[in-house]
Each structure stands twice: as structure tokens, then as C-alpha cells.
Amino acid sequence: MCGIVGYVGKAEAVPVLLDGLRRLEYRGYDSAGLVILRDGELFRRRAVGRIKNLAKLLEEQPVAGHLGICHTRWATHGGVSEANAHPHLDRSGELALVHNGVIENYRDLREELIGHGCEFRSQTDTEVLAMLVGRELDLRGETPVTKELLLGAMRKALRRVQGTYGIGVVHRQLPGMLFGARRGSPLVLGIGKGEHFLASDVAALVTHTREVVYLKDYEMVTAWEDGFEISSLAGGGCSYEINTVEFGAEEVSKGKYPHYMLKEIFEQPNSLRDTMRGRLSSEEATAILGGLNMSNSELRSVERVVLSGCGTAHHAAMVGEYLIESMAQLPTECEFASELRYRNAPMPKDTLVFVISQSGETADTLAALQECRRKGHRSLAICNNVASTIARESDGGVYMHAGPEIGVAATKSFTSQVLVLNLIALLIGRIHNLSSMQGREILKELEQLPEKVEKVLATGDAIAALARKYASCKNFLFLGRQANYPVALEGALKLKEISYLPATGHPTAELKHGIIALINEETPSVVIAPSDAVFDKNLSNIEEIRARKGPVIAVGTEGNRSLEEVADDVIWIPEAPDYLVPILATIPLQLFAYHLAVSLGCDVDKPRNLAKSVTVE
Ligand code: AGP
């Protein structure tokens, strides 16, 4: 939800911190701030709004130094104001702290701290944490503050906290020392030459180093120019692994594109190739998914599959339900993670759970995973972010390998999720009902998919023109049947989240049960109508819309002339089997939403009120 960055080294800290913050801006952009520690003084700068406002403030009020922490905020507790912007200070003003997460018991702690004379200057839960650490230091009453004293105070304070945190801390009396800790919110240490970094996401670090340590829950880090230590919240050292990040600065920059979203849409041929790489076995005519950690006989004993996620990932899960049921003939259900975590629906013993999450940090999805594991169900994850909490807490799973997705609107992660679900359906199908011939045919189709996606992307200019044509409309309907119903939902979500236009997705046949009342000359319907078994039904529905003067934009299979005759506009996708159409049909809808939002002047990469990963309920 928020993003934090810390730096200690020989370089000027401000440019490093600002660069890191800009790369984390997708995590929140309500306000931003930093603290630099120099010559025993803390210099704080905070600004409401985007990082550029903080950068401007720093031009007017520059600050130099080689150690600092910074933060970009997505407001949870307290409105958007400078007072609520991080970093927050303790009572003495000697300790500064930045925080990503939510302190659930902050009200009780705040009352208690007020009783001890603390005066709060913000409404945030984070200031409570800063005050609490400061209070623990005060109780020790020892000066000067040493590294051990501060770590001890952090441990005591953090043990009292309910909720989630990834924090960065500096203290006036500890020059050259950067501190961090995590529980439930990501935190990564970047190891440079004579410098160290802290960040919520490696994207903030890869321009400086690819050597990182992903901190685990209940771990703390102390870093200085030439070294670092990792210890546990309980006290004592921890073993850790130094990882090399697979991607570099190029992949987290916009390159030649004006927006991350457009770049990520155009990356899809390659992201899909990467998702499949090494996973197609022509010999056995199946998919190889070793990360599931399940033998064929264990998979065969699965009686039911549950798929869960939020937002776009939930739409992918809905497609997955169709895929696994039709390819593997296995009963499959799909549920919002936010519902699953609180429901007590009966789940048979041999239920296999998949949670789906690009970030691997979504709070509701994580809680659904934990709940299913608590009840003894084998629970697997389909994630993009390899070091994420969901990936770590699951019993296994499949990495999407789609590469970093920075645009707030999910694009390439959706198509990779649907592709992974195809691979899972193929694998389970091959141990149940699919013959090797059928398996081979599916593999052949999968291999051709990236080229078909390239063909769809080649129609980008025509889709841009179409988006401009409809940009003055105030309301949109998206309609699809079967596995293309979730595609309609995804098309509607893309449009509303980046253009703020009301757009809703529906099963096409539901039109006549009420939704048709919305049809008029100014309400376009985007109908996904590929040449499949229900094409004639879709054609009739399109006629019904046209009879009521509703404009129709159809997404259809190349060469289907009858569609051209009834729809006002047609977006063509290459011929493909039903199980791959949801991928091909979604891409034009991503482009349509993107170009429409751009023509309305919207900030597509950072839509209002949203953040990329939602780590609160
Ligand atoms: C979609 O464009 C949104 N970014 C949002 O719905 C997102 O898919 C959802 O918050 C789930 O995120 P996750 O995949 O990281 O768990």
C-alpha cells in the first residue's frame, strides 16, 4: 500500500531516495516525505500529492546527507495532509520512522502514550509506532543511544503491535545506521558496494544493485556503509540468503512508452512466452509444474478445486473455473478472497485451493490462503512476485514469470494468470480424461499463442481510433458468455479504474433480464462474440441491442463477416480454441480502456484513489 526506501552509503541520499520513491509511486501517491540524518540532526521534508511535489520542495529547501529514509503514502488512517505524511517522529524528535502496513491496535496504544505525555501531531497509526519505540528508549533512560538499545526498544515496541508493518528507522544519536523490520508487509535489503538500501520492493533498488535479501516476517535489519546484520524480533541472529534479482533497471522503466500500462500491454507476447517457458512437455503431452509439489497420484485424488483472488486476479480465477471444468472435468469453484476468508462454506477434504495474486501481498488473498491452510486444505499460489508473502506462505504453486508490473491497472498479469490456469487444466486433464493426442493439440495451440497476441497488438492503432470515437460516451456495458463473461468483467474494470466512467460487465444472456433497460443511443455495448458454439446466441443479443439503437462494438474472430453486418464496429482477434480466447479477447479491451482514458486526459498509471497492491482489508 505505501512504499518505503532507505539509504546509507557514500552517495548523496536525496537523489537515491527520490529515484527509489518514483519507482514505488505505484504503491500510493497521496503524499511523500523523507528524513535525512546529518551531523546529528534530522532534516525532514514532506509534501502532499505526488513525488514531484516533494522533489520541488527539495529544490526550494535542499538537504544534503548520506543517510535517510523516505515514504510514499496511500492514506489509511487519517486524511491526506502534510501532518499525516511520513516520516513520523517520536516524542523526543530524535527518532524518525516510515511505515508500510496497518497498526490495528493503534487506538489503545495511542491512548496509553497520551497518558505518558506524548503529544500526537497526526492521525496516523504510524506516529503511534514512532512514539512507542521512543517510549521504550525513554524507559531505558540510557544515553547515548546505542545500536543495541534501539534494537531492544524496537523489539519491545513491535511485540506490542497488532497488524502489519514494514518499517525504516533512523535515530539522531546513531549516525550512519539504518534500521528496518517487517511483519506482513514486504521489506528488502539491497546490498551495494559501500552502501545499503531498504525498500518495499526491489523495483526501487535495481538501478543500484541486484543483490538483495528478502526479509522474512519477524526479522529486523541494521545496515551501515560496509555491512549489515539481520536479527529476529525475538532476539538473536538469523540465517539469510542473498538473492540476485532477475530483472534490471530497463524492465522497471517505461522505455519508449508514455505509460507503464501501454508498455506492459505490449510486453504480453514475451510475458506469455516467459510464463510457458520450460513448462510444456511434448513428450508427455502435458504441462510440467514442479512448483505444485504434488505427484500425479496426489493430483488425481483431488475431488474439487477452489480458485480465489481479488479484482483482476478474481476475473482470472473465473476464467480458470471454466478451463479446469471443461479441460479436466473437475468440479471447480471460484470465490472472492475477501468473501472466502470470512465464510464457513463446507469444503470437502480433497479440495485443492489456488489463490491468485500478481503482487502476492494482497491482504484479503493472503488471509484466504491462511484460512484454507488452517483448515487443512492444500493451498497453492499463482503469483508474479517471487519473494512475496503469499508465495512464501503457500504449500507450493506456479510463478507467473510475467516480469514486473508497475501500472496500477493489471494487464500482463491477467493474461499470464489465465495462461497458468490453462497449464493447470492441461496437467490435471491429462491425468484424468485427456488423451495424449488432445494434450499435444493443446500444446500446439499454446505455442502459437504469443504470435496471435502480436497480431492483436498490431491492430492497436485501429483500437485507439475506436476509443477516441466513443470517448464522449458516459456509460459502457461489457457482455460475454461462458469464459468470456469474466473477460467482460475485466474489460469493464479496466475502463472504470483508469477512466472513471461507469462500466459494468454481464453475462450476455442476462441482458434481457433487466440490463437492457440501460440501452440507448449513448450507451455502447462491447460484446465479446468469438466464432464459438454460442456465436449465434450472441448474434441475436447484438440484434436486440441494435433494435434499441444501442451502439455495439463487437470483439470477434477474424473472417466472421456476419458480425460485421450487425455490429457498428468490430475488433478482430485471430481464430483460437475456446480456452485461449479469453487471453486474446482481453488485450483489445485493455487497449480500448487505455486509449479512451488517455483521450480523457486521465493519469492511467496512477488512477485516483487506487494503489497497486492492497495490503489492507
Ligand atoms: C486491477 O487492475 C487492479 N489492479 C486490482 O483489481 C488487482 O488486480 C487486485 O487488487 C489484486 O491484486 P493482486 O493480483 O496483486 O493480488
Residue 214 sits in the same domain as residue 362 = no
Q: What mean pLDDT comes out for the span 596-613?
A: 87
Confidence of residue 543 (pLDDT cuts 50, 70, 90): very high
Residue 215 sits in the same domain as residue 131 = yes
CB atoms within 10 A of CB 252: 20
Domain boundary among 229, 248, 267: 248
Residue 277 sits in the same domain as residue 237 = no
- How far apart are alpha carbons 129 and 135 in whole angstroms? 10
> Going by C-beta distance under 8 Å and a sequence separation of 6 or more, which residues neighbour residue 540?
none
Q: What spacing in Å lies between the alpha carbon of 358 and ligand 1's midpoint?
A: 7
Q: What share of the chain is helix, strand, coil (3-state, %, to 5)?
A: 40, 20, 35
What are the C-alpha distances in Å from 59 to residues 26, 45, 506?
23, 11, 50
Residue 547 sits in the same domain as residue 426 = no
Residue 235 sits in the same domain as residue 301 = no
Residue 616 lies in a domain: no
Decide whether any atom of ligand 1 lies within 6 Å of the 311 Cβ: yes
Residue 612 lies in a domain: no
Which of the listed residues 362, 383, 385, 616 should we mutate to test ligand 1's pocket, taking the one with most ligand atoms within 8 A of CB? 362
Q: What is the dihedral of CA 223, 227, 230, 235, to 10 degrees?
A: -90
- Predicted local distance difference test score (pLDDT) of residue 305: 97
Q: What mean pLDDT comes out for the span 94-101?
A: 96
334-382 pLDDT tens trace: 999 999 988 888 888 899 999 999 999 898 999 999 999 999 999 999 9
- Predicted local distance difference test score (pLDDT) of residue 113: 97
- Helices 485-499 and 311-328 sit at what angle, rounded to 10 degrees? 170
- How far apart are alpha carbons 529 and 553 in whole angstroms? 10
**CA-based nearest residue to 132, from 91, 166, 163:** 91
Nearest residue (CA) to ligand 1, atom 10 = 311
- Predicted local distance difference test score (pLDDT) of residue 247: 80
Contact 520, 477 (CB under 8 A): no
Residue 541 lies in a domain: yes
- Predicted local distance difference test score (pLDDT) of residue 79: 86
Q: What spacing in Å lies between the alpha carbon of 64 and ligand 1's midpoint?
A: 38
**CA-based nearest residue to 396, from 303, 487, 299, 316:** 299
Contact 29, 49 (CB under 8 A): yes
Give the 3-state secondary structure of residue 111: helix
- Predicted local distance difference test score (pLDDT) of residue 278: 94
Q: What spacing in Å lies between the alpha carbon of 295 and ligand 1's midpoint?
A: 31
Decide whether any atom of ligand 1 lies within 6 Å of the 411 Cβ: no
Decide whether any atom of ligand 1 lies within 6 Å of the 368 Cβ: no
Decide whether any atom of ligand 1 lies within 6 Å of the 186 Cβ: no
Residue 142 lies in a domain: yes
Name the β-bridge partners of 35.
44, 69
Domain boundary among 180, 215, 248: 248
Report the CATH number at residue 524: 3.40.50.10490
Residue 337 sits in the same domain as residue 438 = yes
Name the residues annotated as catalytic.
2, 612
Which of the listed residues 358, 412, 616 should we mutate to test ligand 1's pocket, taking the one with most ligand atoms within 8 A of CB? 358
Nearest residue (CA) to ligand 1, atom 16 = 357
Chain-centroid distance of CA 157 in Å reads 30
Nearest residue (CA) to ligand 1, atom 8 = 312
Q: Which atom of ligand 1 is found nearest the CA of 408?
A: 4
Name the β-bridge partners of 304.
351
Question: Which set of grid coordinates corresponds to residue 154?
Answer: 524496537
Confidence of residue 90 (pLDDT cuts 50, 70, 90): very high
Decide whether any atom of ligand 1 lies within 6 Å of the 310 Cβ: yes
Residue 434 sits in the same domain as residue 477 = no
> Going by C-beta distance under 8 Å and a sequence separation of 6 or more, which residues neighbour residue 156?
136
Give the 3-state secondary structure of residue 613: coil
- Predicted local distance difference test score (pLDDT) of residue 609: 78
Percent of the chain with pLDDT over 90: 86
Q: Which atom of ligand 1 is found nearest the CA of 413?
A: 14
Decide whether any atom of ligand 1 lies within 6 Å of the 597 Cβ: no
Report the CATH number at residue 215: 3.60.20.10
Confidence of residue 260 (pLDDT cuts 50, 70, 90): very high
Confidence of residue 474 (pLDDT cuts 50, 70, 90): very high
Residue 327 sits in the same domain as residue 419 = yes
Q: What mean pLDDT comes out for the span 241-268?
A: 90
Domain boundary among 451, 480, 509: 451
Q: Give the DSSP letter string of 262-324.
A: HHHHHTHHHHHHHHHTT-EETTTTEE--GGG---HHHHHT--EEEEEESHHHHHHHHHHHHHH
Q: What mean pLDDT comes out for the span 132-137?
A: 97
Nearest residue (CA) to ligand 1, atom 5 = 311
Contact 231, 237 (CB under 8 A): yes
Confidence of residue 289 (pLDDT cuts 50, 70, 90): very high
**CA-based nearest residue to 369, from 402, 392, 399, 400:** 392
Contact 385, 416 (CB under 8 A): no
Confidence of residue 26 (pLDDT cuts 50, 70, 90): confident
Residue 228 sits in the same domain as residue 327 = no
Confidence of residue 612 (pLDDT cuts 50, 70, 90): confident
Which of the listed residues 408, 499, 613, 617 should we mutate to test ligand 1's pocket, taking the one with most ligand atoms within 8 A of CB? 613
Residue 116 sits in the same domain as residue 153 = yes
Residue 614 lies in a domain: no
Contact 524, 498 (CB under 8 A): no
Q: Give the DSSP letter string of 495-555.
A: HHHHH---EEEEEGGGGGGTGGGG-STT--EEEE--SSTTHHHHHHHHHHHHHTT--EEEE
CA 48, 53, 55, 57 dihedral sign is: negative
- Predicted local distance difference test score (pLDDT) of residue 341: 82
> Going by C-beta distance under 8 Å and a sequence separation of 6 or more, which residues neighbour residue 350?
301, 302, 303, 304
Residue 502 sits in the same domain as residue 481 = yes
Residue 318 sits in the same domain as residue 354 = yes
- How far apart are alpha carbons 441 and 444 in whole angstroms? 5
**CA-based nearest residue to 33, from 98, 77, 122:** 98
Per the structure, the count of domains in the chain is: 3
**CA-based nearest residue to 421, from 604, 592, 292, 558:** 292
Q: What mean pLDDT comes out for the span 230-240?
A: 92
Decide whether any atom of ligand 1 lies within 6 Å of the 362 Cβ: yes
Range of the domain at 581: 459-604
Work out the mean pLDDT of the chain and round it to a whole number. 94
Decide whether any atom of ligand 1 lies within 6 Å of the 410 Cβ: yes
Contact 30, 51 (CB under 8 A): no
Decide whether any atom of ligand 1 lies within 6 Å of the 417 Cβ: no
Residue 609 lies in a domain: no
Contact 128, 109 (CB under 8 A): yes
Residue 487 lies in a domain: yes
CA 576, 579, 581, 584 dihedral sign is: negative
Amino acid sitting at position 282: S
Amino acid sitting at position 358: Q
Instruction: Tell me, yes or no, if the pTM score tops 0.75.
Output: yes
Q: What spacing in Å lies between the alpha carbon of 55 and ligand 1's midpoint?
A: 29
Decide whether any atom of ligand 1 lies within 6 Å of the 409 Cβ: yes
180-212 pLDDT tens trace: 999 988 899 999 999 999 999 898 999 999 999
Residue 611 lies in a domain: no
Can you say whether residue 260 is alpha, beta or left, with left for phi > 0 and alpha for psi between -120 and 50 degrees?
Answer: alpha
User: Which segments within 152-275 are labelled E, that is strand?
Assistant: 165-171, 178-183, 188-191, 196-199, 211-214, 219-224, 227-232, 243-244
